[in-house]
C-alpha cells in the first residue's frame, strides 16, 4: 500500500512528487510515456531531440517560485540565463524584450512610439514585483467553508490590486494610452495570449500585466531539453514508473486501486497530474466522475499546432522569437507563432552547427477532430508548409538549411499525453477564481495538480499549484 500515488509526470506531477518525497513521504510517480515532462518533455525523432512544447523557464530567478521548488528538494537544474527573453517580429519591426525595464522602454519607444510607454511598462513591472511579494494566500476546494476561507486569504491581493481586477485589459489599455494602433494591440495580445491563454479582451488588466511582465524577471533555457529539468527535479524519488498507463481507478472506502499497464497499485492518497478534462474517464466512482465532469464546462478546446525543425546553419539565433502576422493564421486561433531555438552550446540537443526548433501556435482541437483522414492529413501538411515558409522568410532561414521538419496537431498531443486541450485553464474574466478547480477536492485523499487546476499554466503557475497542494495536504490553512 503506497501513501501517495501521483498519476502523470508533467510539471505538476513531478513537482508534487518531489516535494512530498523531500518531506519523507512514500510516493510513486506514474507516467504513461517513456520519459517525464508531458507538455514540457523532450523526445527523440529519428535520433534528433526536440522539446515537445515548453521551451522557456520563467520563475527560476532569485526568489522565484520555480527556484523555490528546486531549492526545497535540494536539486540544481542544468539551466542557463536567457536575455533577451524574446525577440518579437511584427512586419519590419524587430522589438527585443530585454529583461532590463529601461532598455526595453527604449526598444518599445523606437518601434511603437507613444508618450505613455514609460508609465505603462513601469506599471506592468511594478504589478509583477508587488504580486510576487505577497505571500500567505492559498486556494481550497475541499468544502464550501474552506473555499470561502481560502478566498479570504486572497484579500491582500484584492485590496492592493482591485482596480486592475474588474473590466477587460483591452479597455484598460486603450483608456490608459488614449490612442493605440491596432498593430500595437496585436503586439500586446500576442504576448498576453502565450501566458494567460486568452487575449486582452478576455482577461483583466492584472492578469495581462503579469503576462506582459514575466520577461522582466530572469528567464532560463533548459540545457539538454525541458524534459531533463523534470527528470532532475524527480531524481531523488526512489520509484518512478514510466511507460505505465493508468487505465482505471476504483475507490473503496479510503483506498484507491489503480489498474495500470504494469499491474495494480493501491494507495491511500491519489494525486492526479492529468488534465481535469480527461480525468473522469478513469474513475468508476460516480461522485468522483461527477466532480471532474463539473469542470469540463471550463474546457475552451484550445490546443496547439507545433512545428519541429532541424536547421543546419552558421547564422546565430536567439533562444526565442515571436512572429506576429496581420491576420489570424489559417487553421489556428492566433496571429502569432512562438519559435524556440536550441542553444548552440547544447550538444545534447543538437550537434555543433545545428539547431533544433520548436514552433507553436494556438489552435482549436475541433478544427482537427472533425476531419476525415485525408482532410486531416492535407490540413496538417498545409499548415506545416505555411508555418515553415513564414518562419524561413521572417528569420532568414534558407529552405535548404532545413534538414528535418514535421508537425504535431491536437490529435498528436491527445495520442501521446492524453490531452485534447492544452494550455490549461485560461485566466479569463469568466473563468477566474472561485470558478477554478483547486488542488484539493471534496473527496477524501484525492488531490489535483497541473495547469487545469489552480494556479494555471506554465512553470510558475503549475509549481504554485503544487505548493498549494502541499499546503492542503499538510492542513496548513
Ligand X SMILES: Cc1cc2nc3c(=O)[nH]c(=O)nc-3n(C[C@H](O)[C@H](O)[C@H](O)COP(=O)(O)OP(=O)(O)OC[C@H]3O[C@@H](n4cnc5c(N)ncnc54)[C@H](O)[C@@H]3O)c2cc1C
When asked if residue 227 is in the footprint of ligand X (CB under 6 A), the reply is no
- Residue 195's contacts (CB-CB under 8 Å, 6 or more residues apart) are 210, 211, 214, 457, 458
Taking the least distance from each CB to ligand X, the nearer of 200 and 421 is 421
Minimum separation from the CB atom of position 34 to ligand X (A): 10
Which residues, at least 6 apart from 282, have a Cβ–Cβ distance to it below 8 Å?
A: 246, 247, 248, 249
Taking CB under 6 A as the binding criterion, the range among 54-62, 118-126, 140-148, 374-382 that sits at the site for ligand X is 54-62
**Segment interacting with ligand X, rule: CB under 6 A, options 144-152, 161-169, 457-465, 467-475:** 457-465
Does 56 bind ligand X (CB under 6 A)? Our answer is yes
Using CB under 6 A as the binding rule, whether residue 32 contacts ligand X is answered as yes
Binding flag, residue 265, ligand X (CB under 6 A): no
Q: Does the footprint of ligand X cover residue 270 (CB under 6 A)?
A: no
Binding flag, residue 225, ligand X (CB under 6 A): no
- The long-range contacts involving 246-255, CB below 8 angstroms and separated by at least 24 positions, are 246/7, 246/30, 246/32, 246/282, 247/282, 248/282, 248/284, 249/282, 249/283, 249/284, 249/288, 250/283, 250/284, 250/285, 251/283, 251/285, 251/288, 251/443, 254/444, 254/445, 255/1
Q: Is 246 in the site for ligand X (CB under 6 A)?
A: yes
Nearer to ligand X, 65 or 169 (CB): 65
Strand ranges for 282-319 from DSSP E: 302-312
Q: Which is nearer to ligand X, 173 or 258 (CB)?
A: 258
Element holding 151 (H helix, E strand): helix 144-153
- In 79-212, the DSSP E strands lie at 79-82, 86-90, 93-97
CA distances from 206 to 12, 211, 409, 429 (A): 24, 9, 31, 11
* Least distance from ligand X to the Cβ atom of residue 50, Å: 11
Site mask for ligand X (CB under 6 A), range 329-368, x = bound: -------------------------------x--------
Annotate 417-445 with b (16+ C-beta within 10 A) or e (fewer): bbbbbbbbbbbbbebbeeebbbbbbebeb
Q: Which stretch binds ligand X (CB under 6 A): 33-41, 85-93, 137-145, 343-351?
A: 33-41
Residue 458 interacting with ligand X (CB under 6 A) = yes
Verify binding: residue 420, ligand X, rule CB under 6 A: no
267 lines the binding site for ligand X (CB under 6 A): no
Read off the C-alpha cell for 28. Answer: 510513486
Q: Which listed range, 174-182, 286-294, 349-357, 455-463, lies at the site for ligand X (CB under 6 A)?
A: 455-463
Q: Are 30 and 6 in contact (CB under 8 A)?
A: yes
Closest contact distance (angstroms) between CB of 2 and ligand X is 15
Euclidean distance between CA atoms 147 and 245, whole angstroms: 32
Name which position in 417, 464, 472, 473 contacts ligand X (CB under 6 A). 417
**What's the rounded Cα separation, in Å, for the pair 403 and 366?**
31
**How close are the terminal C-alpha atoms of the chain, in Å?**
28
Question: Is residue 258 involved in binding ligand X (CB under 6 A)?
Answer: no
Out of 40, 359, 436, 446, the residue judged to bind ligand X by CB under 6 A? 40
Q: Interacting stretch for ligand X, rule CB under 6 A, among 37-45, 86-94, 134-142, 384-392?
A: 37-45
Residues that bind ligand X (CB under 6 A): 7-13, 30-33, 38-40, 53-56, 245-246, 273-275, 304, 306, 360, 417-419, 422, 424, 450-451, 457-459, 462
Amino acid at each position: 500500500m503506497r501513501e501517495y500515488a501521483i498519476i502523470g509526470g508533467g510539471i505538476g506531477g513531478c513537482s508534487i512528487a518531489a516535494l512530498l518525497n523531500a518531506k519523507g513521504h512514500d510516493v510513486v510517480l506514474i507516467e504513461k510515456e517513456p520519459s517525464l515532462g508531458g507538455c514540457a518533455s523532450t523526445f527523440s525523432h529519428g535520433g534528433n531531440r526536440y522539446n515537445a512544447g515548453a521551451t522557456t523557464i520563467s520563475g527560476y530567478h532569485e526568489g522565484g517560485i520555480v527556484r523555490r521548488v528546486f531549492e526545497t528538494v535540494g536539486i540544481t537544474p542544468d539551466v542557463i540565463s536567457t536575455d533577451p527573453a524574446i525577440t518579437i517580429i511584427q512586419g519590419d519591426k524587430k522589438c527585443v524584450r530585454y529583461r532590463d525595464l529601461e532598455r526595453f522602454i527604449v526598444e518599445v519607444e523606437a518601434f511603437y512610439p507613444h508618450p505613455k510607454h514609460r508609465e505603462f511598462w513601469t506599471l506592468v513591472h511594478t504589478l509583477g514585483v508587488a504580486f510576487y511579494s505577497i505571500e500567505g494566500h492559498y486556494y481550497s476546494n475541499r468544502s464550501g467553508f474552506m473555499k470561502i476561507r481560502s478566498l479570504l486569504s486572497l484579500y491582500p491581493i484584492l485590496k492592493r490590486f482591485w482596480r486592475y481586477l474588474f473590466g477587460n485589459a483591452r479597455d484598460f489599455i486603450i483608456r490608459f494610452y488614449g490612442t493605440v494602433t491596432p498593430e500595437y494591440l496585436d503586439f500586446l495580445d500576442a504576448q498576453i495570449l502565450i501566458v494567460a491563454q486568452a487575449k486582452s479582451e478576455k482577461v483583466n488588466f492584472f492578469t495581462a500585466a503579469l503576462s506582459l511582465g514575466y520577461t522582466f524577471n530572469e528567464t532560463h533555457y533548459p540545457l539538454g531539453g525541458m524534459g531533463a529539468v523534470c527528470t532532475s527535479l524527480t531524481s531523488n524519488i526512489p520509484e518512478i514508473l514510466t511507460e505505465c498507463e493508468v487505465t482505471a481507478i476504483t475507490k473503496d472506502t479510503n483506498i484507491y486501486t489503480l489498474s495500470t499497464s504494469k499491474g495494480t497499485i493501491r494507495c491511500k492518497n491519489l494525486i492526479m497530474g492529468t488534465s481535469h478534462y480527461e480525468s473522469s474517464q478513469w474513475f468508476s466512482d460516480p461522485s468522483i466522475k461527477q466532480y471532474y465532469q463539473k469542470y469540463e464546462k471550463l474546457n475552451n478546446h484550445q490546443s496547439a499546432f507545433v512545428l519541429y525543425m532541424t536547421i543546419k546553419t552558421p547564422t546565430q539565433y536567439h533562444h526565442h522569437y515571436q512572429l506576429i502576422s496581420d491576420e489570424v493564421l489559417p487553421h489556428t486561433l492566433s496571429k502569432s507563432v512562438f519559435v524556440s531555438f536550441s542553444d548552440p552550446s547544447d550538444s545534447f540537443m543538437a550537434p555543433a552547427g545545428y539547431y533544433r526548433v520548436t514552433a507553436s501556435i494556438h489552435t482549436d482541437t475541433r478544427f482537427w477532430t472533425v476531419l476525415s483522414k485525408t482532410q486531416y492529413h492535407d490540413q496538417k501538411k498545409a499548415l506545416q508548409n505555411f508555418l515553415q515558409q513564414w518562419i524561413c522568410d521572417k528569420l532568414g532561414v534558407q529552405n535548404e538549411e532545413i534538414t528535418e521538419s514535421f508537425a504535431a496537431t491536437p490529435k498528436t498531443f491527445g495520442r501521446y499525453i492524453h490531452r485534447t486541450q492544452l494550455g490549461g485553464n485560461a485566466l479569463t474574466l469568466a473563468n477566474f477564481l472561485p470558478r477554478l478547480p483547486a488542488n484539493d477536492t471534496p473527496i477524501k485523499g484525492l488531490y489535483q495538480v497541473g495547469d487545469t487546476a489552480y494556479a494555471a499554466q506554465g512553470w510558475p503557475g503549475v509549481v504554485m499549484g503544487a505548493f498549494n497542494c502541499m499546503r492542503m495536504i499538510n492542513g496548513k490553512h
